């Protein structure tokens, strides 16, 4: 379908006057949480820099403050904000709010393509809405799998379900592509691009970076901690924190910074298990630029996060992944990630070993980069241009 975008720019008007009618392809990006924003904003900015696209940004607001931080960092101003976050939101709340609110946006904009990212409920529900309206979907970070529908929960379901409807699949690695092929996805819908998270990392990490928290940790080995997974809330998270506290109390040359997620359920457990230890600082989530530089300054990381598993290998930082499964086996193969589950004693032993054995530490701290060179957004934009703009012109 050819049309002149309603958001016609001066340039396109000039082009029209010249008789060279400018036909823009409308691409809507939809995202709602911190990690999606970190990995989608570089792509949004790349798409916006190309005159052949009319780029519309819709945020669901599944996250609020943590999303705003990232939008601010990348200077992305959404065209639509569904503003759906509420305290203690359930998966029903998020899914139903998106389905009912995004319909009008899609109806009004009628994009040629909607891009979603990864495996959040925002991505799943937005892709489902597009399917209902028969709007093509492109999936950024396609093909990650644990093949255990309950781990991570509900993300493994979300990402598999998105793959059922996606027309363009942007896989970060060869392995992710193979996962999709095994599921019967046609090879010509899959493009290996690297991960856009590395694009973000390329712009944030700075030499000579300083911060008061890093000053506090100076002279100690810095441990960075994050935790938030739904399936870890409750006893698994308590066990994780108990193990971490035991090790920190036994090693007086280490200090830990824990940028805590805004989820009150996480805060309650952290307060219960970690408070009162003067070598653990629990801080409000820093902006992405700060967090990436904290990673760079750290000795090692303990986390149940997904994105951090991609960023840490690029920085050569050992990560103990406090989950039973990972969809990022490339980082495990590269040696930077070790899957330690949520058993208190296993985390305790693994953490202690990494602190006490130089050999184990050295093995895990080689910088490798299985997730790309930091130009995934450029590749994705090129592919979209080739498929949506140039094909139309032929």
Catalytic residues: 119, 141, 155, 228, 230, 261
Smaller CB distance to ligand UD1: residue 4 or 91?
91
25 binds, among ligand UDP, ligand UD1, none (CB under 5 to 8 A by kind): none
63 binds, among ligand UDP, ligand UD1, none (CB under 5 to 8 A by kind): ligand UD1
Cβ contacts of 125 within 8 Å, gap of 6 or more = 60, 94, 95, 98, 99, 102
Q: Which of 25, 28, 38, 40 binds ligand UDP (CB under 6 A)?
A: 38
Q: Minimum distance from CB of 35 to ligand UDP (Å)? A: 4
Distance of alpha carbon 197 from alpha carbon 53, whole angstroms:
22
Question: Is the preceding omega at residue 200 within 30 degrees of 0, hence cis?
Answer: no
Q: Is 81 in the site for ligand UD1 (CB under 6 A)?
A: no
Please count the residues of this chain forming the interface with ligand UDP, following the rule CB under 6 A.
17
Distance of alpha carbon 373 from alpha carbon 10, whole angstroms:
35
Q: Minimum distance from CB of 393 to ligand UD1 (Å)? A: 38
What backbone phi and psi angles, to 5 degrees, belong to 222? -95, 125
What backbone phi and psi angles, to 5 degrees, belong to 370? -70, -10
**Half-sphere exposure at residue 162, Cβ-oriented, CA atoms within 13 angstroms:** 32
Positive or negative: CA dihedral 369, 285, 145, 360: positive
What binding mask, one character per residue, do residues 222-241 give for ligand UD1 by CB under 6 A, x or -?
------x-x-----------
Residue pair 144/119 in contact by the 8 Å Cβ criterion: yes
Residue pair 288/201 in contact by the 8 Å Cβ criterion: no
Smaller CB distance to ligand UDP: residue 285 or 335?
285
Q: What is the DSSP string of 334-347?
A: HTSEEE-TT-HHHH
If one counts every other C-beta atom within 10 angstroms of the C-beta of residue 329, the result is: 18
Q: Is 22 in the site for ligand UD1 (CB under 6 A)?
A: no
Is 7 in a helix, a strand, or coil? coil
Q: Is 338 in the site for ligand UD1 (CB under 6 A)?
A: no
Q: Which of 28, 40, 105, 288 binds ligand UDP (CB under 6 A)?
A: 288
Q: Is 35 in the site for ligand UDP (CB under 6 A)?
A: yes
Q: Is 101 in the site for ligand UD1 (CB under 6 A)?
A: no
What binding mask, one character per residue, do residues 170-199 give for ligand UDP by CB under 6 A, x or -?
---------------------------x--
Q: Is 268 in the site for ligand UD1 (CB under 6 A)?
A: no
Q: Which two tokens stand for residue 44?
A: 């949004």
Is 193 in a helix, a strand, or coil? coil
Residues forming contacts to ligand UDP in the complex (CB under 6 A) are 34-35, 38, 197, 226, 228, 259, 285-286, 288, 291-292, 305-308, 311
Residues forming contacts to ligand UD1 in the complex (CB under 6 A) are 33-35, 62-67, 85, 87-89, 91, 120-121, 154-155, 228, 230, 262-264, 306
């Amino acid at each position: 379908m050819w049309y002149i975008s309603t958001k016609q720019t001066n340039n396109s008007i000039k082009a029209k006057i010249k008789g060279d009618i400018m036909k823009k392809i409308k691409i809507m990006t939809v995202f709602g949480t911190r990690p999606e924003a970190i990995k989608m904003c570089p792509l949004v900015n790349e798409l916006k820099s190309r005159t052949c696209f009319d780029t519309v940004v819709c945020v669901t607001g599944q996250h609020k403050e943590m999303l705003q931080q990232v939008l601010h960092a990348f200077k992305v101003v959404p065209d639509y904000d569904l503003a759906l976050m509420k305290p203690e939101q359930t998966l029903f709340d998020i899914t139903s709010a998106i389905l009912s609110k995004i319909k009008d946006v899609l109806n009004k904009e009628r994009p040629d393509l909607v891009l979603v990212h990864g495996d959040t409920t925002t991505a799943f529900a937005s892709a489902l809405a597009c399917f209902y309206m028969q709007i093509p979907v492109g999936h950024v970070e396609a093909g990650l799998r644990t093949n255990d529908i309950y781990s991570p929960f509900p993300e493994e379901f979300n990402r598999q379900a998105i793959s059922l409807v996606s027309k363009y699949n942007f896989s970060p690695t060869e392995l992710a592509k193979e996962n999709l092929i095994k599921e019967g996805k046609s090879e010509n819908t899959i493009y290996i691009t690297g991960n856009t998270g590395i694009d973000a990392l390329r712009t944030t990490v700075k030499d000579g970076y300083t911060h008061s928290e890093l000053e506090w940790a100076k002279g100690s080995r810095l441990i960075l901690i994050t935790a938030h997974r739904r399936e870890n809330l409750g006893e698994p998270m308590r066990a994780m924190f108990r193990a971490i506290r035991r090790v920190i109390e036994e090693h007086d040359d280490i200090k830990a910074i824990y940028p805590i997620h805004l989820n009150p359920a996480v805060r309650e457990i952290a307060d219960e298990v970690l408070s009162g230890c003067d070598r653990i600082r629990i801080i409000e989530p820093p902006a992405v630029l700060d967090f990436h530089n904290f990673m760079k300054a750290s000795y090692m990381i303990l986390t149940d996060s997904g994105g951090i598993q991609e960023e840490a290998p690029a920085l050569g930082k050992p990560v103990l992944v406090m989950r039973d499964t990972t969809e990022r086996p490339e980082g495990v193969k590269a040696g930077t990630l070790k899957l330690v589950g949520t058993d208190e004693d296993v985390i305790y032993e693994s953490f202690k070993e990494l602190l006490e054995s130089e050999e184990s530490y050295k093995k895990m701290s080689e910088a490798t980069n299985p997730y790309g060179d930091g130009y995934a957004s450029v590749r994705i934009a090129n592919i979209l241009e080739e498929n949506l703009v140039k094909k139309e012109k032929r």
